[in-house]
Amino acid sequence: MLPVATDQIMQAQATMTHALELKAISKSFDGKEALRKASFNVRWGEVHALLGENGAGKSTIMNVATGIYSPDEGSVHINEQPVAVRSPGDAIRHGIGMVHQHYRLVKRFSVAENIVLACGDIQNLTSTSAAASAVAEKAAEVGFDVSAHAIVGQLSIAEQQRVEILKVLLLGASIIILDEPTAVLTDQESRAILAFCRRMAEAGHAVVLITHKLREVLEFSDRVTVMRHGETVLDGADTSGLDVDILSRHMIGEPSLAMDELNASLGDPCLTVSNLVVPSPNGTIGVEGISVSVREGEILGIAGVGGNGQQQLADALMGLTACENGSIRLGENDITNDNVTRRRQAGLRAVPADRFASGLIADMTIAENLAMTRLADGEFGGYFTLSRRTMRKEAEDAISDHDIRGAAPTRQTRLLSGGNAQKLLLARELSGSTRLLVAHSPTRGLDIKACNTVHSLIRKFVESGAACLLISEDLEEILTLSTRVAVISRGKVVGEFPKQEATPEKIGALMMGHA
């Protein structure tokens, strides 16, 4: 059953008043302007999409609305009345809730314990049993398969995002802001969440959808606002009559890029996985007898609902998890029992699902992150004679070659935007004698321009004669980039198609029918 709108909401909806309005908001950090007199509004009873590149100011202006940041200038209005939102608590009391792109969960706690922590006094969910009941009811309402007793740190990325969505819904928000809610969902899951957003709007709520997926905007939103460089460049336009190229030009000043066919000849088998079994010690689904192969000049896309063994497969390929049965071959070499270092020496590289948790060290410099995987080979001297001059020079070349913007060899990596951090990771992983790239959700959370850049880098790598195993929960990415598609469900491959036969309907049916 959907949340019922309050009389106040219904009355406001009848007059189409603004549920939330931000007027002429300016915000700077350390003297750098993040927002410049930016404006945004969402009405009761609508889904309003907010678009823009990484760093355009979308999340910043919504963080002002939710009390995380205080504006330097400008004002916040609810029901067309000025209000002071000085903290997230103020925002909650005003009925504003935000599902952040980067999760705000305690990983050592269970789902129910996280709900108690966030909602306890506000919604009288002060015991884990009460929270567990609320989670079960809300999860059934939304259509999520979430166990209230699961430890959050043992959940997949997609499952953790579902917990965040449940948390905001349980807080009773009537103005709901979703920051990239479909970034880690399959096509069917995405459509279900977006359809649910539509139903909430029809029930009288106000929904803000921050997304980089332009077709989501056109299909599921009533109006759209576009931001660029901290300014509002398209303010609340009706989505009817708009198309992808119009939105793309407002976002980045150029139409979206179309991908040509991969210009690569198939070579010898590069990766051969045979009857692989990988247990999951935390009780989630592991890998149960997977057999796949990838040839040189090929991108094999692994599609599936989050939590169906993708992370265990990636960990096993990278050497982070031991296999219980089966084999992994890189070319003619059996690497099943090799450690991470020996796999990298054999030519296997990886882009993990979380670039900062598993791929880069945020507090280290860009030069150090680029060099870290080659230190043991003595390329920059010995442990006591490390040549930082050589590291800086190679970093300068990588920054230039890969157009890593806002980067300098001695700058902290955490200061890069998501897209530039991903380019940094790819610059390191695709250098040298890389034969196989295992890419897990390589464009998660990136804007359209950054996605195109990452895809182009992977395609160029494969066209040079290497191979890529692409694991992604974004079906559009799988269909755009892959030359062949396999579907994973409950730890098994349940279908495989050449690109020309891999339709969203076929793949989606397998994903949802077996999930």
pLDDT tens, position by position, 348-359: 999 998 888 888
Higher-confidence residue of 452 and 71: namely 71
**Structure confidence at residue 467 (pLDDT):** 96
**Structure confidence at residue 186 (pLDDT):** 63
Higher-confidence residue of 100 and 50: namely 50
The span from the CA of 512 to the CA of 515, in Å, is 5
**Structure confidence at residue 459 (pLDDT):** 93
pLDDT tens profile 236-248: 999 998 987 788 7
Split at pLDDT 50, 70, 90, the class of 2 is: very low
Q: What is the pTM of this model?
A: 0.59
**Structure confidence at residue 296 (pLDDT):** 96
The span from the CA of 19 to the CA of 67, in Å, is 16
**Structure confidence at residue 307 (pLDDT):** 76
Burial of 141 (0-12, 13-18, 19+ CB in 10 A): middle
Higher-confidence residue of 72 and 384: namely 72
- Average pLDDT over every residue of 51-71: 88
Dihedral pair phi/psi, residue 94, rounded to 5°: -90, 5
Q: Is the pLDDT of residue 454 over 60?
A: yes
**Strand, helix or coil for residue 292:** strand
- Average pLDDT over every residue of 418-430: 89
Rg for the chain (alpha carbons), in Å?
23
Q: Is the pLDDT of residue 6 over 60?
A: no
The span from the CA of 209 to the CA of 178, in Å, is 5
The span from the CA of 308 to the CA of 286, in Å, is 7
The span from the CA of 163 to the CA of 151, in Å, is 11
Non-local CB neighbours of 261 within 8 Å, separated by 6+ positions: none
**Structure confidence at residue 514 (pLDDT):** 38
**Structure confidence at residue 15 (pLDDT):** 53
For the chain, what is the mean pLDDT?
86
- Average pLDDT over every residue of 92-113: 90
Give the Å distances, CA to CA, from 188 to 145, 245, 246, 466, 495: 14, 24, 26, 32, 17
Q: Is the pLDDT of residue 156 over 90?
A: no
The span from the CA of 6 to the CA of 175, in Å, is 12
Split at pLDDT 50, 70, 90, the class of 193 is: confident
475, two tokens: 């079906």
Q: Which helix (H) or strand (E) holds 39?
A: strand 32-43
**Structure confidence at residue 204 (pLDDT):** 87
Higher-confidence residue of 365 and 305: namely 365
Non-local CB neighbours of 386 within 8 Å, separated by 6+ positions: 375, 380
Split at pLDDT 50, 70, 90, the class of 254 is: low
Q: Kindly give the pairing relationship between strand 73-78 and strand 81-83.
A: antiparallel
The span from the CA of 204 to the CA of 22, in Å, is 20
Helices 157-170 and 128-142, axial angle in degrees (round to 10) = 100
**Structure confidence at residue 471 (pLDDT):** 95
- Average pLDDT over every residue of 485-490: 91
Residue % of the chain over a pLDDT of 70: 91
Region of 261 (left: φ > 0; alpha: ψ -120 to 50; beta: rest) is beta
- Smallest CA-to-CA distance from 248 within 219, 213, 210, 208 is with 213
Residue % of the chain over a pLDDT of 90: 51
**Structure confidence at residue 239 (pLDDT):** 95
Map out the domains of the chain with their CATH numbers.
Answer: 1-95+173-255 (3.40.50.300), 103-172 (no CATH), 257-347+434-515 (3.40.50.300), 356-432 (no CATH)
Contact at 8 Å (CB) between 424 and 416? Answer: yes
- 358 secondary structure, DSSP code: I
- Average pLDDT over every residue of 248-272: 75
